[in-house]
Amino acid sequence: MLSIFDSLRDVNMVSVTVRMILAVLCGGIIGIEREYKRRPAGFRTHILICLGAAMTTLTSQFLYLELHYYTDMARLGAQVVAGVGFIGAGTIIVTQHQRVKGLTTAAGLWASAIIGLAIGGGFYEGALFATFLIILAELLFSKLEYRMLENAPEINLYMEYTDRTCLEQVLKLYREKNVKVLNMEITRATGSEHHNACAIFSLRLNKRCKVELLLDAIHRVEGVAAVEEL
């Protein structure tokens, strides 16, 4: 442990102030990245969760050390770890194309709560290092993830089309490009001219077939209304 924090591990006015300010800073740093990407839970949400979690640990310590309530100091913190999941669940949505969004934001909220608990308990080194690693994961590792997805051998495509002939042409296109169809889900049109049929394909690409080129080729098939990667 770093000796510079030794004087701040006791519960006093100075340490409480430092812990609350540090919770705001760490939560804000994580929240800025989410705010920049226009996610549901952004700057203020992460600050409030991190600060609230820090206050939870501080309250547990105050009850034990100052008021001498000899209870389990970890009990309040355990409730934060479980309860913050309800807030995280509110950021997760499933789009009309069955695409799940918001998982990273939910995980960030949960991690912010854990960092707040660590700060409230005086574990400054762990909180600061965790904040650094979270920002590293959200900024640097996300680029690595996108690059891996570009070269992924298996993809899922969502397609809207007008008639069965169009679907047959798309399947023929897959065979020509040596793309293997692993799974296919089809939803029939409702009979209304305003609703197209849709299909979800699970595909295995070969090394010479890029996702962008395949999407462009499917777009050019007559009768395809829309196509995108899930």
Q: Would you list the domain boundaries of the chain?
A: 3-149, 154-229
Q: Count Cβ neighbours within 10 Å for each residue of 74-102 and write b for 16 or more, e otherwise.
A: eebbeebeeebeebbeebeeeeeeeeeeb
pTM over 0.85: no
DSSP 63: H
Please name the fold of domain 154-229: Alpha-Beta Plaits (3.30.70)
- Each residue's pLDDT, cut to its tens digit, for the chain (230 residues) gives 778 888 888 888 898 999 999 999 999 988 887 877 777 677 888 899 999 999 999 988 888 887 777 777 778 888 888 888 878 777 777 665 556 677 788 888 899 999 999 999 889 999 999 999 988 888 887 777 667 666 667 788 889 888 888 888 999 999 988 888 988 888 765 555 556 788 889 898 887 778 888 889 999 998 888 888 87
DSSP string, 133-181: HHHHIIIIIHHHHHHHHHT-SEEEEEEEESSHHHHHHHHHHHHHTT-EE
Listed residue (185, 159, 186) closest to 173, CA to CA: 159
Cα of 137 vs its chain's centroid, Å: 11
